[in-house]
Amino acid sequence: MATILRDWSYQFPWFYHSISWLAALNVGGEYRFRRLFLDGLDLTKEMNVLDMCCGTGQATEILVEYSDHVTGLDASPRSLSFAKENLPNVKFVQAFAENMPFSDRQFDFILTNTALHEMESEQLRQILSEVHRVLKVGGRFSFVDFHQPVNRLFWLPISLFLYLFETETAWQLLKTDLPALLAEFGFVVEQIQLHAGGSLQVVRCRK
């Protein structure tokens, strides 16, 4: 269950970014939060990179610093309009992540940043299948999302945040054995990093 604050976060970009800024203080600030996925990651200019569920392109803007071949994908035309305005030289595609209009084994690296918790269980399975399809053999898939806190002091903050801004799918993700699910779709988990008392995870895996 979510409150009207969730609707406001979609309707008013300034409100969404303010909440994101506050939440990011738990990991050292927004600059640090937006770059968590880069830890231990070796990207080169020649790699084909996909920012899946890119939203307004905040992570896309970081990816273009490391690769000359970045594509952003999102289902929201409103979000993509912001992204295109900020990054006119990046290719953005409007489509759902569970049915991506890309060829098999097209990308070297795929990122999705705080988006998987929005997906129903069957959607999540379809998305992982699609990621595996469009990722090159040996390519890497990385995502940042919620995790069950290992420090009990963080249970109240994350519970409050999920109640105010998220839906039941976020709680479902907390209960999901993601390493087992990823293995089911042919991924090998290489690294899991926990932040903010374990309430945030950065997962990197390989096809």
pLDDT tens for 90-115 read 999 999 999 999 999 999 999 999 89
What's the chain's average pLDDT?
A: 87
CA distance 80 to 45: 23
Grade residue 167 by pLDDT with cuts at 50, 70 and 90.
Answer: confident
In three-state secondary structure terms, 107 is: strand
Whether pLDDT at 6 is above 60: no
DSSP H helical ranges for the chain? 4-11, 13-24, 30-34, 58-63, 77-86, 121-134, 155-165, 168-175, 178-184
Give the residue from 97, 85, 16 showing the smallest Cα distance to 51: 97
Give the residue from 105, 37, 33 showing the smallest Cα distance to 66: 37
Total Cβ atoms within 10 A of residue 128: 23
Whether pLDDT at 153 is above 60: yes
Q: What confidence score (pLDDT) does residue 14 get? A: 54
Q: What confidence score (pLDDT) does residue 35 get? A: 87
Q: What confidence score (pLDDT) does residue 89 get? A: 92
**Region 132-153: what's the mean pLDDT?**
94
Please tell me what DSSP assigns to residue 146: E
Q: What confidence score (pLDDT) does residue 158 get? A: 77
Q: What confidence score (pLDDT) does residue 172 get? A: 92
CA distance 163 to 47: 39
- Tokens (6 digits) for 139: 């390519």
**Region 178-188: what's the mean pLDDT?**
96
CA distance 72 to 38: 17
Kindly report, residue by residue over 19-62, the tens digit of the pLDDT: 565 555 566 667 788 888 888 888 999 999 999 999 999 999 99
For the domain made up of 4-10+43-135+148-206, the CATH class stated in words is: alpha beta
Q: What percent of the chain has pLDDT over 90?
A: 66
CA distance 60 to 90: 9
Q: What confidence score (pLDDT) does residue 7 get? A: 55
Q: What confidence score (pLDDT) does residue 116 get? A: 96
Total Cβ atoms within 10 A of residue 137: 8
CA distance 93 to 71: 7
